[in-house]
Amino acid sequence: MIDFWEVINRSENGELMEERAYDRLVGKVSNEMIKKYNIKYDPEEVVSSDDNLADRLYDAAVEFFVKVGVYNCDTDRVIKFKEKELFEALEATPDQIVWGQGRDQRIMRHRKVEDTAPPFCNFTLVGTPYPEDQFLQACMSTARERLADCFSGPSLLGTLGGVEVKSGSAVEVAAGIFDIGKRREAARRVGYPGKGIYSHVSAAEKADAMIAAARPEFGCLDGDGVLCAAIAEMKVDNDRMKKTVFLLNTYYNMGGLNGPLMGGYAGGPEGTSMVLVAHNFLNLMVFRSQYSTNFPIDMWQTCNTTRPMLWLVGTAHQALARNTHFLHFANAFTAAGPCTNFVCYELINHGITAAVSGAHLAPAACARNKYPERCTGMEGRICAEAGHAAARSGMTRKDANTIVKKILSKYENKIKDAPLGKKFSECYDLDKVIPTQEYLDLYDEVKEEVSSYGLNYS
Amino acid sequence: MGNIFEEMEQAIIDGDEELCASLAQKTIDEGIDPSEAIDKGFAKGMRVLGDRFENGECFLPALLTAEDAMNAAIEILKPKIEASKAQKEKLGKVVIGTIHGDVHDIGKNIVKLFMSVAGFDVIDLGRDVPVRNFIQTAQRENADIIAASALMTTTMVYMPELIKQLKELGIREQYKVMIGGAPVIKSWAQEVGSDGYGLTAKEAVENAKELLI
């Protein structure tokens, strides 16, 4: 596998290019590749069962990646890789990694398309703003979930100890330390002290804050994970590469995070699906990731549960699962908020689509990922149970497509007006940190309904 | 005359840079008012694409290609526009950027494009822009609007800081402040004392126009 120092060298000495020109190059090459490889979105095949399409998408992503490379926004240079270097790295990447410590250790293994092994599940509240006084309970809501093989928490909203948390400020370091401390405390409180923490310092955007917080005395253990996020589309910067250098010297699980925008530089569902696959190559080659988390987003609806987005999620993960043994999570973003039938439909659809497409699950971000306290551990449960059920029952993509389309008909025309749902404090008993009976009953009703469509929960 | 405007509109929609340049040259050769050519032809094509984009009927690459084609036409028409007494007044001057600590700029780039097409004079400060750079540029350029974007909850908190510093400098009333981006909700934008907000690029443009009435 190509040496990391050679990657740094290329990021300092690669082709000089204006960022504006690079953005246009991404769009141009994306368009060329989807034509060359005949990648076409079919709204009737929401969960595609076309192996050939998945393989063509993979080939297109390889050629795209080799042609456009990765842009470093700080050096204005393009880091290029040869196809041979990419394939060597894909061959060398592990097909399983271990999360957590002691009795809470879990192994995440590569899954195939239509694999009957259940997906490895990370329960997260990624990006959902929470105030300091509810942060611990929010983390407990994900950590305590039975299907959460590892877990994460929300983002700290506003202030810590009365002082505003700002990126790049001294308080960001304090927030990072607070963040990991609360996550570990949450794991202890719910009886899983060694459960792997998937991203231990989401309050720390900058590398220095993340590195400062990543210490065992704050709660960060070997077998936890840290993410480096790509900048859309296909970009990195020196701050992210600093994180990589640090992580290469630790025992943490190294992850990449990708959120290409459907409608953005890569174009429509076809181009964005291909660029999502290519982002996984970026993770591997530049961030040295052992796994990726993928949250493509519809630029207009800020979610990934619409018809084209589910197609995109399915095809991209199938391309990776069929052609590599790289580990990859699908991260559900919903339009609706907690404690609504709407969010249940969205989460079940995402869970089924991702699970039959060979992905692992990382639910969820809800209510378009912007409203405070509007994502809880319960949404992770809804998505993960659907994914487990689909895998365990040996669901084919063809059957998944039928079920997903039935569920889509319940919400897709109303997605612009998706309900905001309830806040954590309105749909959870905060003393016990368990969902309210109202939420459980609502979910049971939806489960009964989707069971009648063919999703076997038993 | 009608036909050439339609040709310009279509050339922009098709992102045909060469044809746009040739139509711009034809505008000069045939003595057509360059401002009219832009308004009824090239810019109309951009507006059509902008509407399609808002409705999810076309994607960002189509807008960028059209922008390149538009720039090719404007480059040729520029000397004539500047010489013309009929030079169209800009709607206002906007200083735009992604706020300090934030490197995510796709949303800001789309708003910038929409504002330029609508007729604003837009100065783009790029990403990760310190609060003082917004203010200094607005002062130097005599801007009407300061527009800031954010993707992270830990960076959006610099938006109230921008408003606070404008107040402390005693120049808050000189500028309209607009904020937006994925984590920014309307109620928060109002709460922190901004003047304008846009959930979408189109909404931001409409809001900017209203602010300057």
pLDDT in tens, A385-433: 999 999 999 999 999 999 999 999 999 999 999 999 999 999 999 999 9
Residue with tokens 């909850």: B153
Q: What local confidence, expressed as pLDDT, does residue A159 receive?
A: 87
Residue of chain B whose alpha carbon sits nearest to that of A19: B126
Torsion, CA B82, CA B88, CA B92, CA B96, rounded to 10? -60
Distance in Å, alpha carbon of A231 to nearest chain B alpha carbon: 7
Supply the mean pLDDT for chain B. 90
Q: How confident is the model at residue B90 (pLDDT cuts 50, 70, 90)?
A: confident
What percentage of chain B exceeds 90 in pLDDT?
59
**Residue numbers of A between 137 and 176 with CB closer than 8 Å to B:** 155-158, 164-168, 172, 175
Residue with tokens 């740094």: A8
Q: What local confidence, expressed as pLDDT, does residue A201 receive?
A: 62
- Which residues are CB-contacts of A324 (< 8 A; sequence separation ≥ 6)? A58, A90, A93
Distance in Å, alpha carbon of A385 to nearest chain B alpha carbon: 29
**Residues of chain A contacting residue B53, judged by C-beta atoms under 8 Å apart:** 263
Q: Does residue A375 contact residue A365 with C-beta atoms inside 8 Å?
A: yes
Q: How confident is the model at residue B105 (pLDDT cuts 50, 70, 90)?
A: confident
Q: What local confidence, expressed as pLDDT, does residue B2 receive?
A: 58
Separation of alpha carbons B92 and B36, rounded Å: 19
> Which residue, A358, A365, A366, A362, is CA-closest to A316?
A358
Q: Is the pLDDT of residue B86 over 60?
A: no
Q: How confident is the model at residue B1 (pLDDT cuts 50, 70, 90)?
A: low
**Residue numbers of A between 76 and 135 with CB closer than 8 Å to B:** 127, 129
**Structure tokens that stand for B209 in this block:** 């126009």
Separation of alpha carbons B127 and A168, rounded Å: 14
A157: exposed, middle or buried (Cβ count in 10 Å: 0-12, 13-18, 19+)? buried
Residue with tokens 């922008």: B67
Q: Does residue A258 contact residue A93 with C-beta atoms inside 8 Å?
A: no
Side-chain half-sphere exposure of A250, counting CA atoms within 13 A: 23
Q: How confident is the model at residue B84 (pLDDT cuts 50, 70, 90)?
A: low
pLDDT in tens, A239-266: 999 999 999 999 999 999 999 999 999 9
**Structure tokens that stand for A418 in this block:** 């998706």
Q: Does residue A270 contact residue A305 with C-beta atoms inside 8 Å?
A: no
Q: Which helix (H) or strand (E) holds A107?
A: strand A106-109
Q: How confident is the model at residue B24 (pLDDT cuts 50, 70, 90)?
A: very high
Residues of B within an 8 Å Cβ radius of A? 53-54, 56, 59-61, 64-65, 68, 100-104, 106, 109, 127, 152-155, 157-158, 161, 182-185, 200
What Å distances lie between residue B185 and A103, A162, A380, B189, CA to CA?
A: 42, 22, 24, 6
Give, in degrees to the nearest 5, the angle at Cα B148 between B142 and B151.
165
Supply the mean pLDDT for chain A. 95
pLDDT in tens, A285-343: 999 999 999 999 999 999 999 999 999 999 999 999 999 999 999 999 999 999 999 99
pLDDT in tens, B119-141: 899 999 999 999 999 999 999 99
Separation of alpha carbons B206 and A179, rounded Å: 40
Residues counted in chain A: 458
Separation of alpha carbons A402 and A40, rounded Å: 19
Mutate to test the interface with B, among A41, A159, A167, A273 (most CBs of B within 10 A): A167
Work out whether the CA dihedral B31, B32, B37, B38 comes out positive or negative. Answer: positive
| DSSP string covering A164-223 | E--TTSHHHHHHHHHHHHHHHHHHHHTT-TTPEESSS-TT--SHHHHHHH--GGGT--TT
Task: Classify residue B40 by its DSSP letter.
Answer: I
Q: How confident is the model at residue B170 (pLDDT cuts 50, 70, 90)?
A: very high
Q: Which helix (H) or strand (E) holds A377?
A: helix A377-392
What Å distances lie between residue A179 and A46, A201, A281, A411, B25, CA to CA?
A: 38, 6, 29, 35, 61
Residue of chain B whose alpha carbon sits nearest to that of A372: B183
Distance in Å, alpha carbon of B71 to nearest chain A alpha carbon: 14
State ipTM. 0.87
Separation of alpha carbons A77 and A13, rounded Å: 7
Alpha helices of chain B — where are they, by DSSP H? 2-13, 17-29, 34-37, 43-54, 60-83, 106-118, 131-141, 153-156, 158-168, 186-191, 201-211
Low-confidence ranges of chain A (pLDDT < 50): none
